[in-house]
Amino acid sequence: MSQPENSAGRIIFLNGTACAGKTTIVHALQATLDEPYLHLSADHILGMLPQRCRNVTNPDNYRAIYKAISGMHHCVAALAAAGNNVIVDTVLVNPDNLAECVFILAHFRVTFVGVFCPLDELERRGRDDKYAGMARSQFAQVHAHQIYDLEVDTSTTSAQEIAANIKAYHERVLWPQAFRRIRNEKIVISQE
């Protein structure tokens, strides 16, 4: 059963490299926002894959990972269509992933937030085996499209301050424009 557009949930979409602080921001947002927001992340989705398929640097895993992340994008739309508010925590390094999100989420109110952090700080944060070298490999690609509703820097601002800023923007701006601008400026490939 389809719900009317005005009953759809809102989406806060956080995009940044590994170790940028997205998950910490999500927790601060969930504590700050008045309404409940579900948290859906690329880490959650990749964690559902068999262990042997989780290495994002192994070309043999690309197909399984791409399909899982595509499924996450469709899941975000389904959750929002059912009236749930959603915070997405992901790393959009592939232009096709951004194109898919812009297409699938075209009819939803999406606040697109770029989560920035200097490379040296990302590498300091990512010294454990799980994230070693990942931020460097993602750094040049993750923000290549350069269009956000909001940009935040986790090296200079606390997660609580960032959450308060996102909340204020999210409450003030009913229909954020970043996804619409990306679609209109044809920065991504049409998915039609």
Q: Read off the pLDDT of residues 56-108 as tens digits, 9 standing for 90 and up.
A: 778 898 899 999 999 999 999 999 999 999 999 999 988 889 999 999 999 99
CATH 3.20.20.60 assigned to 5-184: no
| Contact predicate 9/143, CB 8 Å | no
Per-residue pLDDT tens over the stretch 181-192: 998 886 554 444
Cα separation, 163 vs 83, whole angstroms: 22
**pLDDT of amino acid 185:** 80
Q: In sequence order, which residues have a C-beta less than 8 Å from that of residue 123 and are 6 or more positions away?
A: 19, 135, 136
* DSSP annotation of 189: -
Domain limits, the chain? 5-184
**pLDDT of amino acid 10:** 96
* DSSP annotation of 172: H
Q: In sequence order, which residues have a C-beta less than 8 Å from that of residue 84 and are 6 or more positions away?
A: 9, 38
Q: Cα–chain-centroid distance for residue 5?
A: 22
Q: In sequence order, which residues have a C-beta less than 8 Å from that of residue 120 and are 6 or more positions away?
A: none
Does the model's pTM come out above 0.95? no
Q: For residue 51, what are its two tokens?
A: 């262990």
**pLDDT of amino acid 191:** 43
| Contact predicate 129/18, CB 8 Å | no
Per-residue pLDDT tens over the stretch 53-68: 988 778 898 899 999 9
**pLDDT of amino acid 186:** 64
